Amino acid sequence: MKVLVAVKRVIDYNVKIRVKPDHSDVDLTNVKMAMNPFCEIAVEEAVRLKEQGVASEIVAVTVGPKAAQEQLRTALALGADRAIHVETEARVESLAVAKLLKAVVDEEQPDLVILGKQAIDTDNNQTGQMLAALSGMPQATFASAVTLDNGELHVTREIDGGLQTVALTLPAVVTTDLRLNEPRYAKLPDIMKAKKKPLESKTPEALGVSVESGLKLLGVETPAERKGGVKVGSVDELVEKLKTEAKVL
């Protein structure tokens, strides 16, 4: 089984987000970037499927600037066999990413495509669903368990108030939820080996996809600063403040 894993370069989740002084966008100057955490879970799941003898090849793919090759090298260090970089400096919205991934799917013919459920920078939660629709593949989103059973993929999904298990025919699209697995760290020898693994570069033009956006970012604001709290002396004082200051009673 060939597995294609989509990984996105995003701001490291530990970094405190800064907005540009003109509020036009998030400031990425000298900011630490990393693989989107849900994509790390996607890579880990693919590696586990390979370790179980279910997957035979793992191909990592990213759409992004030259620097996004760093995240592909991380995927290779974690266990992907080869990588595909669709290089563009443009801000690519989910639909264009899904179209580019569909073009890669058409070339690579994977049995399974694993994506994160959402990218923590734009919080879109769209790409996996769009890819499934564009390529006519069944999809299981928010996966918390994935097994292969008699050629069918069984996926447990985290839904409101419980779990749902679905069976998919292959090829299929799966998006990962937080509890699917705990990703491993790349070991130094594997990081060294990853430098020699194949990484192929492509352009959106070569894949026949326009990355022109139908969406314009109008502005970015940080959340309002929270005011410091006060300690009240009694329940009566709390009720009084809720009535007169917060005006919620």
What is the binding site for ligand AMP (CB under 6 A)?
6-8, 36, 38-39, 42, 62-64, 92, 94, 97, 115-116, 118-119, 122, 124-128
State the nearest-atom distance from the C-beta of 62 to ligand AMP, in Å.
4
| Cα angle for residues 208, 213, 214 (degrees, 5° grid) | 120
State the nearest-atom distance from the C-beta of 43 to ligand AMP, in Å.
10
Residue 7 and residue 233: Cα distance in Å, rounded?
52
Q: Give the H/E segment covering residue 194.
A: helix 188-194
Mind giving me the DSSP string for 99-146?
HHHHHHHHHH--SEEEEES--TTT----HHHHHHHHHT--EEEEEEEE
State the nearest-atom distance from the C-beta of 175 to ligand AMP, in Å.
7
Name which of 215, 245, 216 is nearest 230 in CA terms.
245
State the nearest-atom distance from the C-beta of 37 to ligand AMP, in Å.
9
By DSSP bridging, strand 152-159 and strand 162-169 are antiparallel
Nearer to ligand AMP, 220 or 241 (CB): 220
Nearer to ligand AMP, 200 or 240 (CB): 200
Nearer to ligand AMP, 2 or 241 (CB): 2
In a 3-state reduction of DSSP, which class is residue 39?
helix
> Residue 102: left if φ>0, alpha if ψ -120 to 50, beta else—which one?
alpha
Nearer to ligand AMP, 149 or 217 (CB): 217
Nearer to ligand AMP, 126 or 241 (CB): 126
Nearer to ligand AMP, 119 or 186 (CB): 119
Mind giving me the DSSP string for 86-110?
EE--S---HHHHHHHHHHHHHHH--
In a 3-state reduction of DSSP, which class is residue 156?
strand
Residue 19 and residue 32: Cα distance in Å, rounded?
15
- The closest residue (CB) to ligand AMP is 116
Residue 182 and residue 167: Cα distance in Å, rounded?
23
State the nearest-atom distance from the C-beta of 222 to ligand AMP, in Å.
21
Nearer to ligand AMP, 27 or 124 (CB): 124
